[in-house]
Structure 1
Amino acid sequence: MPQTAQIVVENATIHFDKPYSYLIPEGMPVRPGCRVTVPFGAGNRTRFGMVLALSESGDISRLKPVASLVDARPLLSPDLLSLVEWLHEHTFCGYYDAVRTLLPPGIGVELKYTYERAKDAGPPEDLPPEQQQILEYLNGRGKPVREETLLAALGLDAESPSLRALCEAGAVIKSQEVRQRVLDEKLVMVRLADGITELGDITDVKITAKQKAVVELLAQAGQATLKEVCYFAGVGKTVVDRLEKAGVTHYFTREVYRSPYEVRTAREDASALSLSDEQQAAYRTLCELADSGKPQAALLYGVTGSGKTEVFLRTIQHLLGSGRGVIVMVPEISLTPQMIERFHRYFGDRVAVLHSGLTMGERMDEWKRIRDGGAQIVVGTRSAVFAPLARIGMIVMDEEQEATYKSEMSPRYHARDVARVRAASHNALLLLASATPSVESFYRAKQGRYHLIQLKNRFGAAKLPDVTILDMSTQALNAASGSLSAELIGQLRQNLENSEQSILLLNRRGYNTLVKCSICSAVAGCPNCSVALTYHTANGLLMCHYCGYTARPDETCPTCGSKFRRFSGAGTQKVEEELRELLPQARVLRMDMDTTMARFSHEKHFADFSAGKYDIIIGTQMVAKGLDFPNVTLVGVLSADSSLYAQDYCSFERAFSLFTQVVGRSGRSDKAGRAYIQTFTPENPVIALAAMQDYDSFYESEIENRRIHLYPPFCDMVGIGFSGIDRAEVQAASRQFLAQFAAFASAEYSDLPLRVLGPCESAIPRISGKYRWRMAVKCTFGARTRELLWRTVRWYHAQSRNRPVSLYVDPRYESSI
């Protein structure tokens, strides 16, 4: 009986996004998990597809055949194929969007078409002029012509009826080939062309102001990466492209080592790790859960510095002994260097790394090594949860409370939910670890849905740091610094005298966060987004941290013409400058997005700090979590209030976690630690509880607040977002969605508990030129609720008036509106 394949295709609109049956040509070794090309739609345009399943069918008369097989062996295993369906249903994404998420970007392929004149075709007779033109063009070529070349030369459309007619008549042969996407293995560099050393050497080309900035930068630096040129000159890539085309600059490439880390052998035995009695008990419990033969979930809740990492290192060794693999996730790239170093120390080249800081080629190579069994431990960020391990014994989420585990792009999944699904399919252990667990996870542990394992003491002789809350409203007006209190400056000076290190947290990058006219109060804002521009001294530009817009600061106010403009608000660049003035002997390292753009910059900076090359780190939240520096005895939290009052129900939880985590970086060895939290609201209970490192009291307060106001974990929150270039259209679309959702709900889903908030404008109404509205639904996110949402989404896309306004559904929404 003929075999058929259930295939999902790329770029299918929501009305046509479903598995389709295709006939498998005889002899074509198609298997589930392989990519294929298939004819799709009325025009039979070739598209990529993923085979989900095979079946036998008696009636094949209306089935189209598979055009070609792309992969000789399956890319996705059965459990990953089941994730495609799960992601589609639960995150409201397209099927092929889910497929792309499961595959490394470097493994992508593209279709190329060529056309040539049929050799046995006679001379053209009585053909329309356009068809004659096509044949004459092809006659002049001795080889097949690429589709894009042919179309551009003759001004044709890809769906040209004349071209299609010639192919159907056999006068023109259309061929198709699948090509592997070119991998990014080299770093693009820029330098001035030969004979040009300064701006005055350019005489025959008219230079714009932006191009002048590029030339002056390269004249000073000699050469730089394309990314560095764009950042420090404040220009887009097209500016550099035009200079290269004019012969002023020259592109070249620098070879980049394809593997992210050199091959290493294990230097230490994990079984030799010394564990305290608490750690030993936790280790035994985790081994029992992992060996139970059924899906398990546990929360490892321990104070900062209690040795959670050592516990799951020992557990991993136990699992490797029985042939099972492990996925270990960390929330940010900045946390991977120390983690990877530790794993390499104990497990050598059995460790693979997956995160966005690698090139496409490196990620693809690591992915293949995992799939082929060359690595049994995967360490990485959120996307590592999709690693193609054949037999998973445990999935670890370190710092499980972090918001970065949630994807903000389609598919909008949370790594914790995906990990739970994968652990269930492998009968594996899901281990969540944190000193400040998410309120939802701790609630589940309290309810007995997770096994709760506690580490109440720091490892060895280390003690929790002493914490002091500093009231910034009492600081003198003529203080030496607007960002650092006199007390904190004194503590930093004391640390320098004692040859001890310090960490300062300020979750704002740039120099000044606000540029405002002193006369009319007009703020320098982004023309594309509803936000103020931030001033950066590194490039002398005002920058938007949302869309990337840059501009030179105006000498006068564009609104009233005043020359009196006030630069206020301190970012990491300004605090770095103040530190160098106040403590000139201190070696200061700044770590934020601007200083960590280069590859492996996190590794280099943290290694230098660990080696004692710097005395003070000033940085954003990348310096606040998961780091272990024995010589750090002082931590300072600057501008604590900015983290407390965000417009969502999780703001207190995130602020408490951030404060607790950064305070926990201090005193992690035998030296006593201390921390200082600067705030204008010292009476805020969140700050006081974080200072005491009292998570349990914070949880009791927060869970009661969630219960009263009905927020997770007492309900699920689903967000629906709308965006478009016309504000009125976006507003109208959101209200139409709400009206239809309410109509469906009252008619057929009246049994569902639903509470709708909104629609209203988003907290930032406009980003990248698009207006944004949102609404939220408090519900139980079960199968019928998903069915209701899907019905409304499909109805919305069927309305032609809604085409200018894009829609997304976010199944884990945190805004309180």
Structure 2
Amino acid sequence: MSRARVLILNSALGPLDYRVPHGMTVEPGSIVVAPLGPRQLLGVVWEPEYMPSEAEVGDNRLRPLLARADVPPLGEALRRLVEWTAAYYLAPPAAVLRMCLSSTSALEGARSVTEYRATGDVPDRLTPQRAQALERIGDRQGLIRELAMTADVSDAVIRGLVKAGALEGVEVDIDSPFPLPDPAYGAPVLSDDQRAAADRLVADVTAHRFAPTLLDGVTGSGKTETYFEAVAEAIRLGRQTIVLLPEIALTEPFLKRFHDRFGCEPVAWHSGLRSTQRRRAWRAIASGEALVTVGARSALFLPYRNLGLIVVDEAHETSFKQEDGVHYHARDVAVMRGKFESCPVILASATPAIETRQQVALGRYAEVQLPGRYGPAELPTIEPIDLIATPPERGRWLAPKLVRMLAERLERREQSLLFLNRRGYAPLTLCRTCGHRFQCPNCTAWMVEHRLTRRLACHHCGHVEPVPRACPECQSEDSLVACGPGVERIADEVALLFPEAKTAVVTSDTIWSPAKAAEFVGRMEAGDIDIVVGTQLVTKGYHFPNLTLVGVVDADLGLEGGDLRAAERTFQQIRQVSGRAGRGEKPGHVLIQTHAPNAQVMQALVTGEADAFYEAETEARRDAGAPPFGRYAAIIVSSEDQAVAQETARLVGASAPRVEGMAVYGPAPAPLAMLRGRHRYRLLVHARRALDVQDVIRDWLGGLDWSAKARVAVDVDPYNFL
């Protein structure tokens, strides 16, 4: 190739042509360094037929490429995925490509770092901190910062031990190979249902064909052990596997289960990794050495060399939908990557989304069911508590029956879980003297009180401020009152009711890393926790055989607002958290506190008649032409200047095309009218399923010219309507 079309990592520009200098060889997928004005940018060589350029430039005017990265080129399937994702979600191809090149240090040559380990020598000056460090480090090896965190001491203490000869440096290749999982290690004894399901999944892996399959099993049915058999088959064949998890906190428990089955941990990919860890993982994935990768949704865009299986665990989870940048849904993109790679895709869930169920009904996805729990475990009994007929005591949030059953579990030395999907102590703080409410200065949202950290926090932009002694409006002291409960408030109530109980609050504020999740799991397994008070973080992925009681504090919370998926999400969330109870030999019990025990979703949860609930919800969607029977796309206009945002929104709304089978609603101020200091307006496009709404929106917005102060974003298949 004497000239190359390059997609550079600049979302404002399309593909550009460059001259390939003498002695450099490139091909489609090659990662290169290209000049752009005075800058040097990364890019990927692309086929001109798939990435047409707006202006052809003569060979004599082309600038030469500067370098080619010494890594394998991005595969054809991944390049096709980039194009599809950009076209479907109306995103710049460069923004999608950036997710594929998410570790720039991985493109550099071989590197090494100095790690440290104990020598066995005890320094003459052994302070308490040094003794603690040596005891906790043991036979571990790592960077100074890592050892300091392990030992809970400062970096200076570790450096002092190095200087004293108690720790020695070791030169380590940061690209050292990962251990290879053994498919024969720790093979489980499967039930008949699990074996039949596993055989079907294994057959798809062996055939190396595109086969999307819903693995639909009740909580505790052993879905993970079942799809592990398909993973084992991919390992035997030398092919790579992706396992996507919805939460970073689930990674550590999953790694332990994987280690028990395959004898080593898989390659992890999530935002909690250091840059050197990301580099090592990226290079191992690109070379094909990393046979199994487990991670968050971004792991889907890594450059796997020989992909043989994709697993989306907890596939119903809304956290698979990316809300910033490229608004993609990892579940749907995973299916498309499986199609481009000609490999099977397993969607594992105890509460599949209606969109997935509809694909099964149409015959596009296969379905494998696990209808019962594994071994002697039985599904828990579920009972509603009518908060109108039997309310909690005044100033309390736990109904008398739930309190009695918590006491019984404590007497029997069994564990309990109280679920409330609301972080912090209270969702609203106001002044009882003048009525002032604390609102975020950057968002139209109330500040949430966090008593553990003594802060008021906005859960949308992250703004925090200390809780004042006096009302900022009327200056009255000791007049601030917390309204409504959060998990911290429920934990306080538990502490008052059962002062001897060991309680843990589990939210994204307390479990922010895989290591913290592992610590929580260890305490639960050791019996060091009696009562867990948690948010949706504890609804999935955890297996605690001694947890026998689940109390849902406010089952009606998820039904508030106008979200079309509100009932479905509530059903999924409560069904998932109910599944934490009775996973061992001891029977489980679930109490659901609600003001509407006769509501359809509550009745479905109590009776276990999921099919009837899903059928009614599906028919309601069909009647409304809502997804999966229709198409939605949100257009969000924002600006730091409210007048500019409003003017741009009116421009977009006034120029909306008249297309048969499509309606445009708005513009209107967004429910979150201000977010992170930007004023926001929304439009909603509702179209029939067969309409190519992306082409319509692309032509519509492409013909408009709005202020540089305004930002117009498109969210295809939105999950968030705020």
- Inter-CA distance 374–406: structure 2 relative to 1 (3 Å threshold): same
Q: What's 1:383 paired with? A: 298
What amino acid does structure 2 have at the position aligned with 1:718?
A
In 2, Cα distance between the equivalents of 1:699 and 1:261?
49
What amino acid does structure 1 have at the position aligned with 2:45?
V
Q: Which residue, out of 37, 45, 48, partners 2:42?
A: 48
Q: Deviations over 1:443-462 (max 9, x none)?
A: 11122111121111111211
Tell me if the contact between 2:420 and 2:487 (Cα under 8 Å) persists in the aligned partners: yes
The 3-state SS of whatever aligns with 2:684 is strand
Shift of 1:741: 3.1
Q: What's 1:191 paired with? A: none
The 3-state SS of whatever aligns with 2:388 is helix
Instruction: Report whether the alignment pairs 1:344 with 2:259.
Output: yes
Instruction: Report whether the alignment pairs 1:521 with 2:435.
Output: yes
Tell me if the contact between 2:9 and 2:97 (Cα under 8 Å) persists in the aligned partners: no
In 2, Cα distance between the equivalents of 1:397 and 1:184?
37
Shift of 1:783: 8.5
In 2, Cα distance between the equivalents of 1:482 and 1:672?
28
In 1, Cα distance between the equivalents of 2:393 and 2:360?
50
Instruction: Report whether the alignment pairs 1:814 with 2:722.
Output: no
Tell me if the contact between 1:106 and 1:363 (Cα under 8 Å) persists in the aligned partners: no
Aligned length: 668
In 2, Cα distance between the equivalents of 1:621 and 1:640?
12
Q: Deviations over 1:745-794 (max 9, x none)?
A: x4xxx4x5212222212121111111111112122577943222222232
What amino acid does structure 2 have at the position aligned with 1:38?
A
- Inter-CA distance 284–67: structure 2 relative to 1 (3 Å threshold): closer
Q: Which residue, out of 76, 79, 96, partners 2:77?
A: 79
Q: What's 1:112 paired with? A: none
- How do 1:639-718 and structure 2 match up within 5 A? 639-718=554-633
In 1, Cα distance between the equivalents of 2:306 and 2:183?
25
Tell me if the contact between 1:39 and 1:64 (Cα under 8 Å) persists in the aligned partners: no
Instruction: Report whether the alignment pairs 1:771 with 2:679.
Output: yes
Tell me if the contact between 2:252 and 2:514 (Cα under 8 Å) persists in the aligned partners: no
Tell me if the contact between 1:289 and 1:429 (Cα under 8 Å) persists in the aligned partners: yes
Q: What's 2:398 paired with? A: 484
Shift of 1:672: 0.5
Q: Which residue, out of 509, 512, 516, partners 2:426?
A: 512
The 3-state SS of whatever aligns with 2:423 is coil
Shift of 1:270: 5.8
Q: What's 1:355 paired with? A: 270
In 2, Cα distance between the equivalents of 1:560 and 1:258?
62
Shift of 1:179: 11
Q: Deviations over 1:673-710 (max 9, x none)?
A: 00111122222221221233332111011001101111
Higher deviation after alignment, 606-615 or 468-477: 468-477
Q: What's 1:792 paired with? A: 700
In 1, Cα distance between the equivalents of 2:11 and 2:428?
44
Tell me if the contact between 1:350 and 1:374 (Cα under 8 Å) persists in the aligned partners: no
Q: Which residue, out of 269, 273, 289, partners 2:188?
A: 273
Q: What's 1:7 paired with? A: 6
- Inter-CA distance 185–335: structure 2 relative to 1 (3 Å threshold): farther
Shift of 1:386: 2.1
In 1, Cα distance between the equivalents of 2:346 and 2:579?
21
Q: What's 1:325 paired with? A: 240
Q: What's 2:133 paired with? A: none
In 2, Cα distance between the equivalents of 1:39 and 1:391?
32
What amino acid does structure 1 have at the position aligned with 2:669?
E
In 2, Cα distance between the equivalents of 1:183 and 1:359?
13
Tell me if the contact between 1:300 and 1:434 (Cα under 8 Å) persists in the aligned partners: yes
Shift of 1:45: 5.1
Tell me if the contact between 2:187 and 2:261 (Cα under 8 Å) persists in the aligned partners: no
- Inter-CA distance 61–462: structure 2 relative to 1 (3 Å threshold): closer
What amino acid does structure 2 have at the position aligned with 1:80?
L
Shift of 1:475: 4.3
Tell me if the contact between 2:111 and 2:174 (Cα under 8 Å) persists in the aligned partners: no
TM-score normalised according to structure 2 size: 0.86
Q: Deviations over 1:374-413 (max 9, x none)?
A: 2211111211222332222221111111011111112111
Shift of 1:624: 0.8
- Inter-CA distance 662–259: structure 2 relative to 1 (3 Å threshold): farther
Shift of 1:84: 2.3
The 3-state SS of whatever aligns with 2:656 is helix
- Inter-CA distance 613–653: structure 2 relative to 1 (3 Å threshold): same
Instruction: Report whether the alignment pairs 1:372 with 2:287.
Output: yes
- Inter-CA distance 729–438: structure 2 relative to 1 (3 Å threshold): same
In 2, Cα distance between the equivalents of 1:94 and 1:561?
51
In 1, Cα distance between the equivalents of 2:575 and 2:556?
14
In 2, Cα distance between the equivalents of 1:261 and 1:278?
40
In 1, Cα distance between the equivalents of 2:651 and 2:57?
42
- How do 1:173-572 and structure 2 match up within 5 A? 269=184, 272-349=187-264, 351-475=266-390, 478-479=393-394, 482-563=396-477, 564-572=479-487
Shift of 1:625: 1.0
Tell me if the contact between 1:258 and 1:362 (Cα under 8 Å) persists in the aligned partners: no
- Inter-CA distance 107–33: structure 2 relative to 1 (3 Å threshold): farther
Q: Deviations over 1:90-142 (max 9, x none)?
A: 22222221121112345378xxxxxxxxxxxxxxxxxxxxxxxxxxxxxxxxx
Q: What's 2:495 paired with? A: 580
Q: What's 2:142 paired with? A: none
In 2, Cα distance between the equivalents of 1:312 and 1:224?
43
- Inter-CA distance 509–182: structure 2 relative to 1 (3 Å threshold): farther
Q: What's 1:634 paired with? A: 549
Tell me if the contact between 1:511 and 1:572 (Cα under 8 Å) persists in the aligned partners: yes
Q: What's 1:28 paired with? A: 24
Q: Which residue, out of 536, 539, 544, partners 1:624?
A: 539
In 2, Cα distance between the equivalents of 1:280 and 1:18?
50
Q: What's 1:195 paired with? A: none
Higher deviation after alignment, 714-723 or 361-370: 361-370
The 3-state SS of whatever aligns with 2:666 is strand
In 1, Cα distance between the equivalents of 2:694 and 2:225?
41
What amino acid does structure 2 have at the position aligned with 1:805?
A
Instruction: Report whether the alignment pairs 1:18 with 2:23.
Output: no
What amino acid does structure 2 have at the position aligned with 1:578?
E
In 2, Cα distance between the equivalents of 1:736 and 1:570?
42
In 2, Cα distance between the equivalents of 1:693 and 1:258?
54
Unaligned segments of structure 2, at least 5 residues: 117-151, 156-169
Task: Give the percent of matched residue pairs that are identical in Structure 1 and Structure 2.
Answer: 32
In 2, Cα distance between the equivalents of 1:498 and 1:594?
30
In 1, Cα distance between the equivalents of 2:242 and 2:672?
36
The 3-state SS of whatever aligns with 1:814 is coil
Q: What's 2:148 paired with? A: none
- Inter-CA distance 720–270: structure 2 relative to 1 (3 Å threshold): farther
In 1, Cα distance between the equivalents of 2:277 and 2:613?
42
The 3-state SS of whatever aligns with 1:356 is coil
Tell me if the contact between 2:206 and 2:233 (Cα under 8 Å) persists in the aligned partners: no
Shift of 1:271: 7.5
Unaligned segments of structure 1, at least 5 residues: 110-177, 187-221, 226-254
In 2, Cα distance between the equivalents of 1:507 and 1:528?
23
Q: Deviations over 1:230-273 (max 9, x none)?
A: xxxxxxxxxxxxxxxxxxxxxxxxx9x99899976869946842
Q: CA RMSD in A?
A: 3.2
Q: Deviations over 1:474-509 (max 9, x none)?
A: 445745x61222211211111111111111111111
- Inter-CA distance 263–610: structure 2 relative to 1 (3 Å threshold): farther
Higher deviation after alignment, 274-283 or 438-447: 274-283
Shift of 1:305: 1.2
The 3-state SS of whatever aligns with 2:427 is strand
Shift of 1:660: 0.2
What amino acid does structure 1 have at the position aligned with 2:569?
R
In 1, Cα distance between the equivalents of 2:57 and 2:92?
28
- How do 1:135-174 and structure 2 match up within 5 A? none
The 3-state SS of whatever aligns with 1:741 is coil
Tell me if the contact between 1:38 and 1:66 (Cα under 8 Å) persists in the aligned partners: yes
